[in-house]
Amino acid sequence: MLFTEKQKLSYRWMENFIGTYLNRDLLQLGLKASPKVIRNLWTMMAHLNGQLLNATTIGNSLGVTTPTVKRYVDFLEDAFLLKSLHPFHWNISKRIVKTPKVFLTDTGILHHLLGVNDFLSLSGNPIVGSSWESFVFNQVLAIKPDGLDLFFYRTHQGAEVDLVFARGLTVVATAEVKYSNSPQLTKGNFQAFDDLKAPMNYVITPSSDEFQMKENVRVCPLKSFVMSYLSVL
């Protein structure tokens, strides 16, 4: 596909931005690693955006050890380029997944590293769901009330929900993120709602109407969620 002049300018700007991080900023912050290795790691994390971190598999692909991958990921998180979301497992008598999920903090960088250059390309790409989840997670993280912690929930039996909102050990709400304005929930979602027993469970969409799917399950667009519901959790 041929780039428009605007796309060419955008591509060059993003390449320069990423290159500055790799060849100057991260080195000045103290990261002792080859910029090429970190570029490859960053790209791999883009492909694995929103998935469970498997440092061993990533290390094998990069030719470095598992502890080295974890150190690099921690460093990129400290530099605000990645963000880990940890599982909620307190007071749950289930076999819980205890590995964190990792997101890129900037969806522009995410799309660039994946070679997605416009909205049309994104819409037909399999990563559109994880891109939307990443965007929602980062928006919520930036404006959530003080004292409200974010987690995800997943069991080995298949129960799962994307976001768990907790104050201390008390779950106050959950949210499943769907890139659809006609969202469908799975049996695993409803099992997670039952396990966590939150007062309300939200389904966050791009721009759907608001409606009550069940007594304690409300569908709403992201804008409504952050303006009407997040602040009171």
**Amino acid identity for residue 233 in this structure:** L
What CATH number should be reported for the domain holding residue 28?
A: 1.10.10.10
Provide the domain limits for residue 133: 5-232
> Total domain count for the chain?
1
Burial 153-173 (b: 16+ CB within 10 A, else e): bbbeeebbbbbbbbeeeebbb
Q: How many residues does the chain have?
A: 233
Q: SS3 breakdown of the chain: % helix, strand, coil, rounded to 5?
A: 45, 20, 35
- The pTM assigned to this predicted structure is 0.93
Q: Which residue has the tokens 């721009």?
A: 207
Q: What is the pLDDT along the chain (233 residues), one digit of tens a residue?
A: 567 888 888 889 999 999 999 999 999 999 999 999 999 999 999 999 999 999 999 999 999 999 999 999 999 999 999 999 999 987 666 677 889 999 999 999 999 999 998 888 888 888 999 999 999 999 999 999 999 999 999 998 999 999 999 999 899 999 999 999 999 999 999 999 999 999 999 999 999 999 999 999 999 999 999 999 999 99
C-alpha 67/C-alpha 91 separation (Å) is: 30
